């Protein structure tokens, strides 16, 4: 009757390539590409060419570098996102941000400084010529 439906944290096309589960604890450097979903604990550094989704149960004590980052859990460390950083209402972030786009949901907590960078530019597509 009074159950709450929590929407899953999704980034990009939603296809998850790597999952760090709720009961997992990693220490060290995580290097990957594609979409990583983190619901467990990571202590160290995350260097990622793709997107990262940190679920509500995710606890990160690390500097994070990625293209797009969505946070619903806890991050203690700096975040560098060359694309978009989205802090969902349950997010708790302590650290400095360097991002192209920042979206902060109502209720999210952020303690630190923010440096906004120009978004990455993609090469313009050549005009299409009719056949």
Nearest to 104 by CA among 92, 89, 83, 119: 89
State how many domains the chain has.
1
90 part of a folded domain? yes
10 part of a folded domain? no
CB 73 within 8 A of CB 89: no
How many Cβ atoms sit within 10 Å of the Cβ of residue 70? 23
Q: What are phi and psi of 21, to 5 degrees?
A: -70, 165
71 part of a folded domain? yes
Would the pTM of this model clear 0.75, i.e. be above it?
Answer: yes
Structure tokens at 48: 């990622």
Residue 43: pLDDT above 90?
yes
59 part of a folded domain? yes
What domain range includes position 108? 18-113
How many Cβ atoms sit within 10 Å of the Cβ of residue 27? 11
118 part of a folded domain? no
Residue 34's pLDDT is what?
83
Residue 13: pLDDT band (50, 70, 90) is low
Residue 33: pLDDT band (50, 70, 90) is confident
Q: How far apart are CA 110 and CA 102, in angstroms?
A: 12
Structure confidence by residue, pLDDT tens digits, 55-105? 999 999 999 999 999 999 999 999 999 999 999 999 999 999 999 999 999
Structure tokens at 19: 């999952």
């Amino acid at each position: 009757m009074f159950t709450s439906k929590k929407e899953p944290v999704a980034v990009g096309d939603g296809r998850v390539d790597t999952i760090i589960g709720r009961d997992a604890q990693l220490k060290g450097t995580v290097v990957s590409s594609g979409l990583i979903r983190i619901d467990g604990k990571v202590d160290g550094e995350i260097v990622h060419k793709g997107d990262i989704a940190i679920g509500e149960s995710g606890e990160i004590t690390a500097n994070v570098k990625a293209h797009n980052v969505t946070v619903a859990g806890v991050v203690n460390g700096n975040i560098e996102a060359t694309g978009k950083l989205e802090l969902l209402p349950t997010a708790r972030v302590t650290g400095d941000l360097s991002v192209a786009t920042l979206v902060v949901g109502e209720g999210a907590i952020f303690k630190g400084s923010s440096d906004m960078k120009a978004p990455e530019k993609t090469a313009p597509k050549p005009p299409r010529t009719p056949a």
